[in-house]
Structure formats: structure tokens, C-alpha cells
Amino acid sequence: MSVRGPRLEFAVGAFLLLALASLLVLALASSNGKFGFGQDTYPLKARFTNLGQLRPNAPVKIGGVNIGTVADIQLDPVKLDAVVTLAIDSRYKDLPADTSAGILTGGLLGESYVGLQPGGDVEPLKPGDEIAFTTPAVDLIQMVGKYMFSGGGKPADAAPATEPSPTAPAPTE
């Protein structure tokens, strides 16, 4: 048997171990070190009339910093609003009761996420509470369509604004 056999086998084994270690590092980096269990979170709810492209597992952010994820999205059969359940990291358990939530988009065509804006109330939100102040997603395609088909944002039947003539008498009341 030649000397190259064991060396080749060792090299292949080392390469495979390095590849597996690289995959493990990639998995840890993409999940922020969390694998979906052992996370200490608490639920908050928010109602929206329009979700846009918001999906479960979308981030929840304050000032661009991830503080949780969208855990669940359900339709309220009575009010016909979308009820979004947020899983907030327990490190942020003292969010003020007047915190507002909005569905935002990262960039022009980026992912949708829930952005929270803390208020100034001294009373904190409790687990399971509903965020009272919400802003729905903005539908960019619908806005562009309204602008394009309304004649540049001005109603078609609007009369041009004119100033009164300096020689014309002022209207009396």
C-alpha cells in the first residue's frame, strides 16, 4: 500500500470536517444564535386594516433594532381586521402602554416588518395586551395608480384658482 492513501483520506476527512464546521457557523449566524427554542418572549397583539406583505417570522423593530418577531397572523371574524401577534424579547418588557405600531418596509422593495414607536406612558404593556395605536401598511402600487389616473394628483373637475381682480368690487356679506 502506498503512503498517499492515508494522507489522501486524512485530507478528505479534514475537508469534510471543515465544511461541516462552516455550515454550523453559517446556521448560528443566520439565526442570531437562537434555534427557535429557549427564547424568552412575551406576546403582544396589534390590529391592522392592511398588512401589505407582512408575513409570520417578520422582524419587530424599534429604531431599526430587532426586538422580536411576528408570531402569528389571524383574521378577526367580527371586525374583519388582521390581528398580529408579536413575540417580543423579554428584555424589552417595559414598553410603554401608549406604544404605537406600524407596518413598514425596508427600502423601496424590501421586506415588511413591524416598527414600534414607544410612547411616554409610565404604565407598561403587559403580556397579551393589545397595542392601541396602529398604522397599516402603505400600498405603493395603489398610491401610484391613484396619482397616475387622477391627472397628477389634481382632480379633473377642479377649476383653476383665480385671484379677484383689483378693479372688481369686493364681495359684501
Q: Cα(164)–Cα(50) distance, rounded to whole angstroms? A: 45
| Cβ within 8 Å of residue 134, ≥6 positions away | 46, 47, 48, 100, 101, 102
Task: Please tell me the least confidently modeled range out of 20-29, 64-73, 80-89, 141-150.
Answer: 141-150
Q: CB burial class (10 A; 0-12, 13-18, 19+) of residue 136?
A: middle
| Average pLDDT of the residues in 106-119 | 87
Q: Cα(73)–Cα(151) distance, rounded to whole angstroms? A: 37
Per the CB < 8 A criterion, the answer to whether 127 and 112 are in contact is no
Per the CB < 8 A criterion, the answer to whether 125 and 116 are in contact is no
Q: Cα(34)–Cα(69) distance, rounded to whole angstroms? A: 13
Give the pLDDT band (50/70/90) at residue 37: low
pLDDT for residue 32 is more than 90: no
Structural domain spans, the chain: 41-149
Helices in the chain by DSSP H: which ranges?
4-30, 140-149
Look at residue 33 in the predicted model and tell me its pLDDT: 54
**DSSP string of 96-128?**
BTT-EEEEEESSSS--EEEEEE----SSBPPTT
Give the pLDDT band (50/70/90) at residue 47: very high
Per the CB < 8 A criterion, the answer to whether 47 and 130 are in contact is yes
Give the pLDDT band (50/70/90) at residue 130: very high
